Amino acid sequence: MNEFELIARLTRSLPTNRSVVVGPGDDCAVLDVGLPDRLLLFKADALVEGVHYTPAAPPEKIGHKALARCLSDIAAMAGTPTAALVTAALPASFDAAHVEGIYAGMSALARRHEVAIVGGETTTNPQRTLLSVAVLGVVARGKAVLRSGAEVGDALLVTGELGGSLAGKHLEFEPRLAEARWLAQNFHVHAMLDLSDGLAGDLRHLIRASKVGAELLAPSIPISLEARRAAKEQPSSKPALLAALTDGEDFELLLTVAARDAVAVLDGWHKQFPDLRLTCIGKITGTEGITIRDKQGVRPLTANGYVHFSQPE
């Protein structure tokens, strides 16, 4: 049983109540606690030594990543993060300076996005450090963007460049908070998520939630320099396009808008965020599954995203 199969079993019959607008299965839970104009966003995520980072990673970057992953999920709903709690589960032999470095990295990111770190706890995890972060955010009523809103004919857009994140980006990426809010405030974004499992895997999540299909345009997929370089320099590595499709931890936004809005979105974006790419990489279709179009024609995409339980380090 892999991670997704287990989650499907565990989330079949979880308790709910009147406050729940969106429960398990989207980037964040959405809660209505009676704020007149806003809904709450609620998300937790863990970072495990030897699984999500190597012990040699600089502690500031470990802390940055632990919080950035949660903030990226808040971005994926077009929300604004408010406060975070940090649980640090540490080996008994923890190095205080290392732990302080982790907190320094987390704090620097939190300050940039005006997020308060309001507590948490330290506990023991004898063999390895594990950081669990919970984030609370807010989003204007009617502005939360779910995974489930994609419509047949929508244009499929992605920020940034994909693949090769493990070469460094996964420890340094900046969550696309301002970008996501700008998109949701200025356009009708039908569906959005952040890429953590790889484009192929996460697009599958989006089309399943929206009960649609998707067609990718192979030549349009923005491939990172790292993925291109690895493919060129290391003959044993994935072809660059495959890396862009299946490497995890890109933490870019994948979104859909009505086809008639796509040009306006792209034009506006390039003025607003001239240093970050936004690329149309395909469209939403009415046929189940994902296909990919290149000069040889259209084929089903079978490559899957990174599944945590199947490929632990």
Interface with a copy of itself in residues 6-65 (CB under 8 A): 6-7, 9-11, 13-17, 19-20, 22-26, 28-29, 31, 33-35, 38, 40, 42-46, 48, 50-52
For a copy of itself, the binding residue among 57, 58, 134, 217 (CB under 8 A) is 134
Of 24 and 286, CB closest to a copy of itself:
24
For a copy of itself, the binding residue among 60, 66, 121, 141 (CB under 8 A) is 121
Of 15 and 219, CB closest to a copy of itself:
15
To the nearest whole angstrom, how small is the minimum distance from the Cβ of residue 295 to a copy of itself?
39
Positions 169 through 228 that interact with a copy of itself (CB under 8 A) = none
Site for a copy of itself contains 264 (CB under 8 A): no
Site for a copy of itself contains 307 (CB under 8 A): no
Q: What angle do CA 144, 146, 147 make, to 5 degrees?
A: 160
Of 124 and 236, CB closest to a copy of itself:
124
Of 35 and 264, CB closest to a copy of itself:
35
Site stretch for a copy of itself (CB under 8 A), options 109-117, 229-237, 258-266, 287-295: 109-117
Site for a copy of itself contains 152 (CB under 8 A): no
For a copy of itself, the binding residue among 64, 75, 77, 103 (CB under 8 A) is 103
For a copy of itself, the binding residue among 54, 55, 119, 294 (CB under 8 A) is 119
Site for a copy of itself contains 232 (CB under 8 A): no
To the nearest whole angstrom, how small is the minimum distance from the Cβ of residue 107 to a copy of itself?
5
Of 251 and 269, CB closest to a copy of itself:
251
Which amino acid, 23? G
For a copy of itself, the binding residue among 66, 76, 117, 184 (CB under 8 A) is 117
Number of residues that bind a copy of itself (CB under 8 A): 75
To the nearest whole angstrom, how small is the minimum distance from the Cβ of residue 216 to a copy of itself?
26
To the nearest whole angstrom, how small is the minimum distance from the Cβ of residue 238 to a copy of itself?
22
For a copy of itself, the binding residue among 58, 125, 209, 239 (CB under 8 A) is 125
131 bridge partner residues: 47, 88
Alpha carbons 111 and 117: distance in angstroms, whole number? 9
Instruction: Convert 85-122 to b/e letters by CB count within 10 Å (16 or more is b).
Output: ebbbbbeeeeeeeebebbbebbbebbeebebebeebee
For a copy of itself, the binding residue among 62, 79, 99, 214 (CB under 8 A) is 99
Of 57 and 280, CB closest to a copy of itself:
57
Q: Transcribe the chain into DSSP letters.
A: --HHHHHHHHTTT----TTEEE-BTBSSEEE--S-SSEEEEEEEEEEEBTTTB-TTS-HHHHHHHHHHHHHHHHHHTT-EEEEEEEEEEE-TT--HHHHHHHHHHHHHHHHHTT-EEEEEEEEE-TTS-EEEEEEEEEEETTTPPPGGG--TT-EEEEES-BS-GGGTGGGTPPP-HHHHHHHHHHS-EEEEEE-SS-HHHHHHHHHHHHT-EEEEEGGGS-B-HHHHHHHHH-TTSPPHHHHHHH-S----EEEEE-GGGHHHHHHHHHHH-TTS-EEEEEEEESSSEEEEEETTEEEE-------TTTS--
For a copy of itself, the binding residue among 57, 58, 98, 138 (CB under 8 A) is 138
